[in-house]
């Protein structure tokens, strides 16, 4: 907790007070849509936690647009370049970053029907397995050296410069690799949500951080014992869906002994993802603007807001 000394801390009841009087709260239709996104999401969290969070993002987005306007006025530019507002979401493997990103995308799309809100994960910037193998780091997937950071920075730069449609490589958990010749397309969004374990990390060689492109950032936090449980639950789901597909990375595990498969997953959690969390991900927590702390059942019990 000492490491979060530059944060205001709120429990659920306190945080829920930060609703705006003049900004619509989450509607029943939105709640229904969120249910279809992930039927485990607590609708109470959406009202209590995400609605005030959306309000905070709304204020920051307005300020950002004001700053862009001021800059253009100084530069004597006639037209506002379409520079997107970028939100970063960091946290451990399997803590729920992509679920949080999808939830925010939906809530922000609803708040701004005439704006384009897109989402992307940095998983696509991992080197393909063949390249990881060539470098002798296949067992370091997710660690800083397993990402093509130069490509990621280049991507962020193109998105921020609004230079047109930008493509990003695509990662698949099913094949456990980069999908050849398939891309995510980022098409001049007004708001882009970038989610990944590495988004608040400092660069090893590059002069610029991924977070230099962020206008707002969130860290999703939880006790590692709980995250391990979520990781294993998701592993179970991956196994259940791999049975019928021999091209699925998990197929051999799916048709084999289930206990052996889970023993293997527990080992990968301990030796790769937990290690990565402790060494490289957790130290980035206090760089975020907001920390969402989750407890059992993914319920958010605390929110921390950066003071300065
Ligand atoms: N708010 C939530 N409520 C219920 N279940 C959730 C919630 N967030 C995440 N989960 C579940 O937890 C697991 C991990 O979530 P998710 O895939 O979003 O994590 P992630 O941080 O994006 O992981 P990775 O970095 O490996 O891609 C999934 O099985 C997901 O369904
Ligand atoms: C793709 C990442 C790195 C991040 O999402 C992660 O899901 C992963 O695959 N980690 C490597 C170890 C493992 O198989 O869980």
Q: What pLDDT does 3 receive? A: 74
pLDDT digits (tens, 9 = 90+) for 65-95: 999 989 888 888 766 568 999 999 999 999 9
Amino acid 28: pLDDT: 73
The residue that leads in pLDDT, 38 or 114, is 114
Whether the per-residue pLDDT at 18 is higher than 70: the answer is yes
Q: What is the pLDDT of residue 217?
A: 98
User: Atom of ligand 1 at shortest distance to CA of 195?
Assistant: 22
Cα(141) to ligand 2 centroid in Å equals: 6
Question: Residue 215's CB: how many other CB atoms inside 10 A?
Answer: 21
> What's the pLDDT at 30?
73
Q: Provide the pLDDT for residue 38.
A: 72
Q: Is the pLDDT of residue 121 over 90?
A: yes
Q: Residue range 205-224: average pLDDT? A: 92
pLDDT at 236 over 80: yes
pLDDT(35) > 80: no
Q: Which ligand lies nearest to the CA atom of residue 147 in the structure? A: 2
Please report the pLDDT score of residue 9 as a whole number: 96
Residue whose CA lies nearest to ligand 2 atom number 13: 268
Residue 115 predicted with pLDDT over 90:
yes
ipTM, interface predicted TM-score of the complex: 0.97
Domain ranges of the chain: 2-306
Q: Which atom of ligand 2 is nearest to the CA of 269?
A: 15
Instruction: Look up the pTM and report it.
Output: 0.95
Percentage of the chain with pLDDT > 70? 95
How high does pLDDT run on average in the chain? 91
- Whether the per-residue pLDDT at 276 is higher than 90: the answer is yes
Binding site for ATP: what residues are annotated? 91-98
pLDDT at 36 over 70: no
Q: So what's the pLDDT on residue 192? A: 98
What is 2-306's CATH superfamily? P-loop containing nucleotide triphosphate hydrolases (3.40.50.300)
Least confident of 73-77, 100-104, 272-276: 73-77
Q: How far is the CA of 246 from the centre of ligand 2 (A)?
A: 20
d(CA 122, CA 172): 12
Mean pLDDT in residue range 198-213: 85
Q: Give the pocket of ligand 1 (CB within 6 Å).
A: 38, 40-41, 91, 93-99, 197, 230, 233-234, 298
Q: 94 C-alpha vs ligand 2 centroid, how far in Å?
A: 9
Q: Which ligand is nearest to the CA of 40?
A: 1
pLDDT above 60: residue 22: no
| Ligand 2 and 291: CB distance under 6 A | no
């Amino acid at each position: 907790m000492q490491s979060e000394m530059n944060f205001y801390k709120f429990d659920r009841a306190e945080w829920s007070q930060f609703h705006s009087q003049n900004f619509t709260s989450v509607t029943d239709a939105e709640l229904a849509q969120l249910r279809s996104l992930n039927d485990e999401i607590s609708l109470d969290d959406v009202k209590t936690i995400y609605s005030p969070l959306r309000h905070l993002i709304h204020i920051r987005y307005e300020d950002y647009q004001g700053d862009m306007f001021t800059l253009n006025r100084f530069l004597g530019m006639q037209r506002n370049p379409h520079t997107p507002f970028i939100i970063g979401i960091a946290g451990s493997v399997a803590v729920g970053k992509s679920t949080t990103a999808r939830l925010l995308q939906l809530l922000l799309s609803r708040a701004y029907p005439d704006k384009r809100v897109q989402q992307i994960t940095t998983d696509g910037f991992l080197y393909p397995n063949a390249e990881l193998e060539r470098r002798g780091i296949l067992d370091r997937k997710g660690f800083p050296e397993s990402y093509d950071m130069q490509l990621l920075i280049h991507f962020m730069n193109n998105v921020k410069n609004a230079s047109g449609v930008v493509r990003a490589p695509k990662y698949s958990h099913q094949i456990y690799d980069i999908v050849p010749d398939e891309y995510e397309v980022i098409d001049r969004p007004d708001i882009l949500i970038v989610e990944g374990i590495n988004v608040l990390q400092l660069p090893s060689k590059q002069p610029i951080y991924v977070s230099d492109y962020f206008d707002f950032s969130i860290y999703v936090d939880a006790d590692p014992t709980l995250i391990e449980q979520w990781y294993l639950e998701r592993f179970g789901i991956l196994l259940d869906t791999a049975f019928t597909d021999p091209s699925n990375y998990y197929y051999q595990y799916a048709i084999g002994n289930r206990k052996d498969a889970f023993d293997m997953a527990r080992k990968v959690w301990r030796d790769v993802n937990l290690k990565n969390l402790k060494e490289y991900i957790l130290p980035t927590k206090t760089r975020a603007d907001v920390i969402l702390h989750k407890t059992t059942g993914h319920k958010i019990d605390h929110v921390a807001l950066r003071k300065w």
